[in-house]
Structure 1
């Protein structure tokens, strides 16, 4: 197989592994707050929002050490062992206890940092400047199929149910645990890409492929120090705003919006089943966006800005429709649901259109953020993606925390403001990339 074919196959396997694993975990995150509300036990007093806040808070703190972990055991084993923790978190819901629930939340935060930094590293070392946009789109589209399959199962299993029984819960989470374990083993199919010429200055490239198995303590310190150095560069400081926005809207579409739909008594007995159907349409939007932007990457003469702008417009439309269609107290309503009225007669069709728009807009932002980080920081991909996930996860943690308390319209307002600001700062960075390309083309004439 040619080197180009091998790296493309690696990207596909990486995407498939994430697809299978996040079929389980994404579905778990989408339904856990609803499941917890339905769980009657004096032994359990957990909150899905609080758990996610813990996960992302620990995730953010762990991102600075994640590159060092990957340097020691390599990206494949990093993905596998991190995936086992994801499986353990899902399995907790089979027989939930407060202590094990929150303990696994902490461990999952650490595992997530390692997992996503390894993913960004593998994506970069299997890409060139000319293929990073395409590969980002392919990976994103494949991974987002997870939203389709897992939530289709929830829609079928829970349709017409007003209450989730212990048997319903156990059946779902045993199935999800097995699925997540299958995804973990797919990572062993990824092959090491053919090596490129080593850089002249070894300190400038500390990717796992370039580091021997006998990594010293000094390497740990260099990797962590490099992440900190990257975090204060002009480009990273500007990109930190769209990073933060991606964390806020991740929280909303992956945990809050489904909970809101399940709490809408105006949707009748199908409200719980709509959680799954909403997740499917979010996935359709993600898949469509990732696939299209990956295919059209080489045809785009105007850089990444048009795609990010499309993402902003899509999200603004979705937020406005949600504001009109969903009751304000839906995120914090009890199990019996909300009795408040929305600004319009609640419509299932409008709610599901918003689900699609949330997924499409998210794919616009994330594919372009992955692409620009991989392009700008090719020689420090592990450290750069660690900074990306650090900012994204700390804002997600904050958002999950305030989701316990803030009404829906306040959550939407925060995202609108951050979306506008993040789009502007992304434009500034991308204009710098385009300008440097033009200068380089001029110098080569």
Structure 2
């Protein structure tokens, strides 16, 4: 049984690896692709598409647990994978209506996918294997930032324009990757209660002569139970939103949404739109995505290990994340033209304060990934510590605030100059770090009082 559960976790990670190789690469390049479209009837915006995705995702989280309970995590993830594949396919022969329709659908699919993933991972773990399984899944997921972006680098390096033929080839490849990841979910094997497999349970039900009507009644009961659980969880979320701890952590959660939108969609677009990089500009989008992924992997592994051994406090890691991000923002301000996110053409000729440097640009990519891992790992850590008995609603609040802020950021990214976007992140990042310090101090004082 342990081997079956390990098999499931590995297949789960491989499925996410393929799906997010496609989606992460797509999000990194889509604004650049949209700007280079030769189809004059297309009027979509990559920023607006990503904003719709995160906006729909944030609200769909409220209904996703019900869907997972009723139809099961395996089927939920398979259907969600189909929605991801549909979004990728929309870029092969793009039209404005299909572009935005699939943006809505993938937002719904993302909520179901991540809810089902959490349910399935816990279902296939116990107290002794949860850390190992989470680590395995996280490592496979983060590798998704490497392969697709590497393909972008080799295909786009030296190009100044993205022709339709190249676009179709890239997104056909990404569609295949997404489809492979979706099919992986069909290979997941059921785990029954008390050590029984799902097949054994079904065989017992057949022996007992269970009728189709009885099965329908069972699903109806599941649906009713799921609705009751959803109502109860929603009430808990509303109650937690009023607590001092969640209110204080909200600026930090909101900041994680702003910087998420920046490193996943805006920064790569800025690099591709900087004419000073010449023929390397478009290829830099891919390399930047890879370096961001390296920063995420290094930060997640390093700080997870150090904090586990109590060598660093959460506040130290968050402070380091703030400093790392602020250094990156300052270098980006000096190195990248201010109109790079908003230029309508494929490249901007504006001169920044420094002569644009590829080395500085990639250093900033690494710092963005490293800083993001600092904030996210410690937010998960402190929420898991404070709300150990209410982890599901607490993490739902985190993802809701993060996704809403990411959606807002994507919508203003296409009309706000780079310097103002950076300034907003600096202000919110500083406020979020201070609030995180206050919450950590409150928990330390509370712990000291309990000792007495």
TM-score in terms of structure 1 length? 0.87
Summarize the alignment of residues 362-401 of structure 1 with structure 2, pairs less than 5 Å apart: 362-401=372-411
Matches within 5 A, 1:34-113: 34-113=32-111
In the TM superposition, residue 351 of structure 1 has moved relative to its aligned partner by: 0.3
CA distance in 1, matches of 2:46, 2:66: 30
Among 334, 340, 345, the residue aligned to 2:344: 334
Judging changes above 3 Å, is the alpha-carbon distance between structure 1 residues 385 and 118 closer, same or farther for their aligned structure 2 residues? farther
1:260-291 CA distances to partner (integer Å, 9 max, x unpaired)? Answer: 00011100111101100111101111111112
CA–CA separation in structure 1 for the residues paired with 2:134 and 2:435: 21
Match among 149, 152, 155 for residue 153 of structure 2:
155
- Which secondary structure does the structure 2 equivalent of 1:215 belong to? helix
Please give the alpha-carbon distance, in whole angstroms, between the structure 2 residues aligned to 1:405 and 1:95: 26
User: Does 259-268 or 75-84 show the bigger shift?
Assistant: 75-84
Q: How many residues align?
A: 426
Question: How much is the aligned-residue C-alpha RMSD, in angstroms?
Answer: 2.8
- The answer as to 2:413 corresponding to 1:415 is no
Return the offset for 1:122: 4.9
Q: Which structure carries more relative contact order (alpha carbon 8 Å, separation 6+)?
A: 1
In structure 2, what is the Cα distance between the partners aligned to 1:434 and 1:133?
25
Give how far 1:29 is off.
Answer: 0.4
TM-score by length of 2: 0.86
Shift of 1:79: 2.7
Matched-pair contact (CA < 8 Å) for 1:140–1:367 = no
Measured after TM superposition, the shift of residue 303 of structure 1 is 3.6
**Structure 1 175/194 Cα, relative in aligned 2: closer, same or farther at 3 Å?**
same
Rounded Cα–Cα distance in structure 2 between residues aligned with 1:174 and 1:133: 36
Cα distance in structure 2, aligned partners of 1:31 and 1:439: 52
Q: Distance in 2 between matches of 1:311 and 1:382?
A: 25
Deviation at 1:424, TM superposition (A): 1.9
Pair 1:28 & 2:26 matched: yes
Q: Does the aligned pair in 2 maintain the 1:318–1:354 contact within 8 Å?
A: yes
Contact kept? 1:93, 1:173, Cα under 8 Å: yes
1:292 aligns with 2:302: yes
Is the contact between residue 256 and residue 403 of structure 1 (CA under 8 Å) also seen in structure 2? yes
- Higher Cα radius of gyration: 2
Once the two structures are TM-superposed, the CA of residue 381 in structure 1 deviates from its matched residue by: 3.5
Match of 2:167 among 166, 169, 186: 169
| Stretches of structure 2 lacking an aligned partner (at least 5 in a row) | 196-219
Residue 223 of structure 2 corresponds to residue 225 of structure 1: no
> Runs of 5+ in structure 1 lacking a partner?
197-210
Residue 222 of structure 2 corresponds to residue 213 of structure 1: yes
Deviation for aligned residue 1:126: 6.4
**Structure-2 separation of matches of 1:106 and 1:299:** 42
Per-residue CA shift, 1:11-41, capped at 9, x if unaligned? Answer: 5554443222111100000001111111111
Secondary structure of the 1:114 match is helix
1:189 aligns with 2:174: no
Per the TM alignment, residue 124 of structure 1 is displaced from its structure 2 partner at its CA by 5.8
Listed one character per residue, the Cα deviations across residues 61-113 of structure 1 (whole Å, up to 9, x for unaligned) are 22222232233233333333222211110110011111111111111122222
Selected match of 1:241 from 230, 251, 254: 251
Task: Classify 1:289/1:191 alpha carbon distance in 2 versus 1 (closer, same or farther; 3 Å).
Answer: farther
| Closer, same or farther: CA 354–413 of 1 in aligned 2, 3 Å | same
SS at structure 2 position matched to 1:93: coil
Task: Tell me if 1:266 matches 2:264.
Answer: no
CA distance in 2, matches of 1:182, 1:228: 39
**CA distance in structure 2 between the aligned counterparts of 1:408 and 1:327, rounded to whole angstroms:** 8
